[in-house]
Structure 1
Amino acid sequence: MQLELRHLEAVCRIAEAGSLSRAAALLGVSQPGLSAQLRRIERVAGGELFVRGQHGVVPTPLGKFVLSKAERVLREMDALAAGTRAAVPHPTLRLGSILLVLTDGLFGHLERELPGHEIEFSIEQSVTTLTRMLGAEQYDAIMYGEVAEYEVPLPDGMAVRTLIPKEPACVRVAATHPLAGREQVALAELAEETWLSSAEDDDGSPEAMVEACRRAGFVPRFRYRIADRKMRYDLIATGRFVSLSQPTSPYAEGTVLLPLAGDPITGRIRVAWNRAALSDDRARLLYRAAGRAYLDGVPYNTFYRSWWASRPELHPNLD
């Protein structure tokens, strides 16, 4: 038997997981099957790679040596796969995203950063769907949001970079709403409102919303989950509903965007990509296009323009 890439991957997953059972779950195999495979790998390596104990497994000195070489080989294979794809004159960039405001202006920036490149772009309603399709190599890269402390789990082999580390949520209300003329509102002042939410609910936003409202002394009342942005805006304009919104959201007739006092709900925007499908250079250009598309929306909101200008540490590095 000779060691293959799948064997090196198994050794790395065992070390990362800290136990055979967790590693088996990550690899999609049975624990007895993984144990048998590890024994075969150890015979080829010439000794035990892990010490097995009641709290999991720990690499032996030989295991640490094999791990260091395995990680290097796997990184080189990722680089080889990305490099060969990048060597194609203009490989198609397969990009997925949830409905972030920055996607509205993304296309122009992508054309400037990646001139002549064919781009497939899709909007998904679920972060879970995005990450699943990224892991299945149906997307090369994805853009998504995370709310509060929630972190989206990514498949193995992915790189991730934070585009916007902190963004305060605002509330969109009808232009005729009694609070519409205020410079900002406290979340508690919206206790009697009926809320609309977007269709995606796996980015931590429902939990963050409920927790923020709990701290404000009430339980939010939700009515509809609507994916279509224009439909949400039209319903809000009737005065029957309110909704959380990104501060970079553009003007929508019949509605206004109000800051929430104290930033009770914040999120962030991230870009993730498959290292085997996207070179570091193309990932950098995608990140820069997304950052510039985001900055295009900052002037829409007078409050946010000031908030953003006072926090240069949050600005993306687009050099």
Structure 2
Amino acid sequence: MKAIVLEGQGKPLQLVDLPTPTPATGQVQVQLKAAALNRRDWWLQQGASRQPSVPGSDGTGIITAVGEGVSPDRIGKEVVILPSLYWGDNPLAQSADFQILGIPSQGTFAEYIVVPAENVYDKPTYLSFAETAALPLAALTGYRALFTQGNLKPGQNVLLTGIGGGVALFMLQIANQIGANVYVTSGSAEKLERAKQYGARGGVNYHDADWVDQLKAASGNGFDLIVDSAAGNGFADLVKLAKIGGRIVFFGATRGNLPELVPNALYSKQLALIGTMMGSPDEFAAVLTFYEQHQLRPVIDDALPLAEADQAIRKMTTSEQFGKIVLSIA
């Protein structure tokens, strides 16, 4: 089979021939039709711990073979893959065996993959393979951040930082759909305008010296929920923007570690700081149901053939994309 391989830290992604994997007991083989990139793939290219390896966490395709213990009736089914491997029984957090699909296990940037049978779900019927491939990791992460960890309700104010990335755009779609008041930040005026086209009530450029004051004025009295993936020095400003009794949920640190926070600002406003990542099988099923019910379509920035995976991942270096970057495989 053809597959994309990361051969070393910082090296370009290469298209190579690899043996086609066969399913073991409890597994299924999926002929992949499309895959999608995540920021995780970019970070792994900068310093992957195990090489050579096939990256990719998001994928969709058709079941072409099954291992022992799996019904052969599943062969031919169009499916999407849950990238949370071995989550475990605790809905609050992943198990010690938890992995994210794609390094150290073989990822989805390939013509075929084998995964546990419980990790494949029916593909949403109204979405193309490319649109479906965009969903798994980012939509699951965003759904958990908003609802399981963030307890978002209709009518509440929510701030999403760094709009344009996959997770933030999924959260914008989902939160807007339930009737939350969504505001966003970005360093790009163009991205702020595009976010408004997708339902954001307002947005500010975080390069502006008064961006915090702008958001306070726009939102009325601050935010019930703030979801952030940057951390760094700007995190202290998010504390200022949170309402009394508000929640700040974070799932990344692209700008570095959290600065020193003044405890008084946290306990006097009775704020909750909540970490989150990925999500459980039940949450993934909920994401698919939500999108099917509301007929939402993921935002696709670009779609490229598998052979151009390195060109695709280079787009993420400058964060120029607005939406997901997808690889067409077959």
Q: TM-score range by the shorter chain?
A: under 0.3
User: What is the TM-score normalised by the length of structure 1?
Assistant: 0.27
TM-score by length of 2: 0.26
> Normalized per residue, which structure has more strand?
2
Q: Which has the larger radius of gyration?
A: 1
**Between Structure 1 and Structure 2, which shows a larger proportion of helix residues?**
1
**Structure ranking higher on relative contact order (CA contacts 8 Å, 6+ apart):** 1
